Amino acid sequence: MSLKGKAYIAGAWEHPTRKATDKSVTLLHAECAKGALEDAGLSKDDVDGYFCAGDAPGMGPMSMVDYMNLKVRHLDSTDVGGSSYQVAVGHALEAIAAGRCNIALITLAGRPRSEGQATGTAPRAGNPAQAEMQFEYPYGPATANMYAMCAMRHMHEYGTTSEQLAWIKVAASHHAQYNPHAMLQNVVTVEDVVNSPMVASPLHRLDCCVISDGGGALVVTRPEIAKSLKRPLVKVIGVGESPKHQMGGDVDLVYSAARWSGPPAWEMAGIKPSDIKYASIYDSFTITVLMQLEDLGFCEKGQGGKFVADGNLISGTGKLPFNTDGGGLCSNHPANRGGITKIIEAVRQLRGEAHPKVQVPNCNLAIAHGTGGSLGTRHCGCTVILERE
Amino acid sequence: MAFVQRKVPFVGTPETNPETKPFWDGCAAGKLVISRCKDTGKYIWYPRGISPYTFGPVEWVEVSGKGKIYTFSVMERANPPYAIAYVELAEGPKMMTNIVDCDFSKLQIGQAVQVKFVPTESGPPMPMFAPA
């Protein structure tokens, strides 16, 4: 039985803050929950399924349901980093179709900026019992240099250039200028990006996403409830999830898990990449976007550099408008996890509620793809395809 | 710019994962000893006590320490900067490592490298690679 269309995104809300020195992580989660429920026209007592991931403090979802005083009958705290919220939409779809819940709430929040995290450049020691930890941590794997190694290899195999990668930031900045909440609102040029300081070769400072506080939440519900609400209908028509790792030592860094999460999502949705009007593509770094676009089938493998160049991702001028809120590269990367904001902007586009300067005309089909974890070691790709009904 | 060795951190102790003791004993003796799948003969990285190919047994084998750079990145924001890399060992698997004793501006994918053991702050020396 296909689960296509068995759930709708009825509520979507992004916290406007980018620096929350006066708020706890749990308060940010609750404010996002409130915002998404109000957006949907629902109340907290309507929620009977709760989904969160590793950014939520406490053991799985339990501290959060206690803090928010939710009475739910279904829980899920699958944590795969920044794509956990794409995964949560897929799992909520399954839970709703199975009758395990009717109104699923998904929250994300964090405050790495207030806490002074050097997210991209400081290696973080984990539990030494984590099998790979002792064989990697001594070598200084931060976030930036892991993605940089993918970029370096992609350049080697396919001739991708720093200037091509820079176009991804340029496109994001063209969109961010219209987002009053974006951290970086200035339009930048290819020269600005390639002349910004090198962080981890070949990635420059402007190849990296922002470090921001904030969060977001989604409400996913069954079709008949969605249709009883007063919001435009955004239907979940395709999902696919897949991890990618080192495969015992057969490391191949030129493709992402999108190569495997995309096909089941496209098949379920019954559409192809050329049908997509708007794309939210995870943008921790410029290289992340380029590889995912290739792996999702928007262009041939290795042709991502040519595909993104010359403004092809800019709404109104390019063929594939992407991350029209400015994305993680310019607007927001709350809790170092950009998955939920990808879905929220896709919902805005499908509802016709994006900023008029970046709204895609007649936007009826959108994709929101996430990559969580580290592209250079182990990560999870998750593809969500949405349709305006 | 002259190469400056960063301090190499370590987490836990070699006893944290007892199954990988042969690897750590090798490091202490300046030998690169990794696990190989007994069923398929394929080498494995990172070291572990069960084959990720068949769930069968592994054997511990000293390898040549020769390899070539699969990819790398110089973390220029760090002080001192360091080069993280995946090195493809002559025996097959690709391992995360650092490239040391080199001019970072001359590093290239495909470059031949040779293992060298570098002391860590609180653990055994770790295998890194220098241009061959």
Which residue ranges form the domains of chain A, and what is each CATH number? Answer: 8-116+208-388 (3.40.47.10)
What is the distance in angstroms between the Cα of B108 and the nearest Cα belonging to chain A? 10
> Within the 34-93 window of chain B, which residues sit less than 8 Å (CB to CB) from chain A?
42-48, 52-53, 70-78, 82, 84-86, 92-93
The pair of structure tokens assigned to A383 is 């593809």
Do A148 and B73 lie within an 8 Å CB cutoff? yes
In A, what residues contact B, Cβ < 8 A? 121, 123, 125-126, 128-129, 131-142, 144-146, 148-153, 156, 197-203, 246-251, 253, 377
Instruction: Please identify which residue in the block is written with the tokens 């919220």.
Output: A85
Give SS3 for A330.
helix
User: Which residues does A126 contact at the CB level (< 8 Å), separation at least 6?
Assistant: A133, A137, B11
The pair of structure tokens assigned to A388 is 């305006």
Of A128, A153, A199, the CB nearest to B16: A128
Report the Cα A181 to chain-centroid distance in Å: 17
Query: What is the C-alpha to C-alpha distance for residues A120 and A123, in angstroms, rounded to an integer?
Result: 8
Give SS3 for B8.
coil
- Work out the burial of residue A230: count CB atoms within 10 Å of its CB; fewer than 13 is exposed, 13-18 middle, 19 or more buried: exposed
Burial A274-298 (b: 16+ CB within 10 A, else e): eebbbbbbbbbbbbbbbbbbbbbbb
Do B77 and A200 lie within an 8 Å CB cutoff? yes
CATH architecture of B14-131: Beta Barrel (2.40)
Query: What is the C-alpha to C-alpha distance for residues A108 and A119, in angstroms, rounded to an integer?
Result: 17
Which residues in A lie closer than 8 A to residue B94 (C-beta atoms)? 246, 249-251
Q: How far is the CA of A1 from the CAs of A6, A78, A94, A268, in angstroms?
A: 11, 24, 11, 10
* pLDDT for A118: 82
* pLDDT for A322: 98
* pLDDT for B1: 66
Whether residue A202 is preceded by a cis peptide bond, meaning omega within 30 degrees of 0, is: yes
In a structure prediction context, what are the per-residue pLDDT tens digits for chain A, which is 389 residues long? 799 999 999 999 999 999 999 999 999 999 999 999 999 999 999 999 999 999 999 999 999 999 999 999 999 999 999 999 999 999 999 999 999 999 999 999 999 999 998 878 888 888 888 999 999 999 999 999 999 999 999 999 999 999 999 999 999 999 999 999 999 999 999 999 999 999 999 999 999 999 999 999 999 999 999 999 999 999 999 999 999 999 999 999 999 999 999 999 999 999 999 999 999 999 999 999 999 999 999 999 999 999 999 999 999 999 999 999 999 999 999 999 999 999 999 999 999 999 999 999 999 999 999 999 999 999 999 999 999 99
Query: What is the C-alpha to C-alpha distance for residues A296 and A301, in angstroms, rounded to an integer?
Result: 10
Instruction: Please identify which residue in the block is written with the tokens 């207030």.
Output: A114
Report the Cα A222 to chain-centroid distance in Å: 23
Domain layout of chain B by residue ranges = 14-131
* pLDDT for A73: 98
DSSP secondary structure code for residue A178 in this structure = T
DSSP secondary structure code for residue A389 in this structure = -
Predicted TM-score (pTM) of this structure: 0.97
Do A150 and B13 lie within an 8 Å CB cutoff? no
Pairing label, strands A8-14, A103-110: unpaired
A216: left (phi over 0), alpha (psi -120 to 50) or beta: beta
Listed as ranges, residues in chain B with pLDDT below 50 are none
How much is the ipTM here? 0.98
Do B120 and A253 lie within an 8 Å CB cutoff? no
Which residues in A lie closer than 8 A to residue B98 (C-beta atoms)? 139-140
